[in-house]
């Protein structure tokens, strides 16, 4: 019978030393490099998901902040609407604030001439944003879209299906909420 320390398997990649199989250095290094590539892939995809969600939050931040704020609220009477914006007069809710003859609402969906819309002014500008639930949902549309897109990356790239479902349903909830409150 041959000595166990001198045997190799058919591929030549493992040696038996006293009965225990040992892989060669090249094979161990290859397995370590492959594991490092898998880890780098996971880290890159997590970074992509965070970038997508951060971009959605950053896009929504300014409009959502003013839509939820209590300062500068009032009512806009829509006088003219184009494809990109609606203009009209602003009557503030606070008695000590001055009315404005011309303010601009960038959100034209569901807005008709003559309609009175609850809005809040952005300080130092003539721009207004919708307030209340409708305003917050519309301001958060980029976050909802980012969550839906992130869910695809989470499911397909990270293979985390349950997390992807929760993320996607949350994003769809924001999108549906905006549609319902239109």
Is a pLDDT exceeding 80 seen at residue 76?
yes
Classify residue 122 by its DSSP letter.
P
CB 88 within 8 A of CB 103: yes
- Per-domain residue ranges for the chain? 69-131
4-13, 109-118, 138-147, 168-177 — which is least confidently predicted? 4-13
What is the H or E stretch that residue 166 is in? helix 161-180
Quote the pLDDT of residue 14.
Answer: 55
Fold of domain 69-131:
OB fold (Dihydrolipoamide Acetyltransferase, E2P) (2.40.50)
Long-range contacts of 59-65 (CB under 8 A, 24+ apart): 59/142, 59/143, 60/139, 60/140, 60/141, 60/142, 60/143, 62/122, 63/129, 63/138, 63/139, 64/136, 64/139, 64/140
């Amino acid at each position: 019978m041959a000595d166990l320390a001198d045997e190799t398997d058919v591929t030549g990649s493992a040696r038996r030393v006293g009965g225990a199989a040992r892989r060669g250095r090249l094979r161990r290094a290859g397995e370590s490099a492959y594991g490092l590539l898998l880890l780098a892939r996971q880290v890159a995809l997590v970074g992509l998901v965070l970038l997508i969600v951060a971009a959605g939050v950053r896009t929504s931040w300014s409009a959502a902040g003013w839509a939820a704020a209590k300062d500068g609220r009032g009512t806009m009477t829509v006088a003219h609407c184009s494809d990109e914006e609606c203009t009209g007069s602003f009557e503030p809710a606070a008695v000590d604030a001055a009315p404005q003859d011309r303010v601009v609402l960038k959100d034209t969906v569901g807005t008709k001439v003559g309609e009175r819309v609850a809005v809040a002014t952005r300080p130092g500008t003539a721009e207004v944003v919708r307030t209340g639930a409708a305003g917050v949902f519309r301001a958060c549309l980029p976050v909802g879209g980012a969550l839906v897109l992130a869910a695809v990356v989470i499911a397909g790239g990270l293979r985390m299906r349950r997390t992807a479902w929760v993320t996607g349903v949350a994003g769809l909830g924001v999108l549906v909420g905006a549609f319902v409150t239109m």
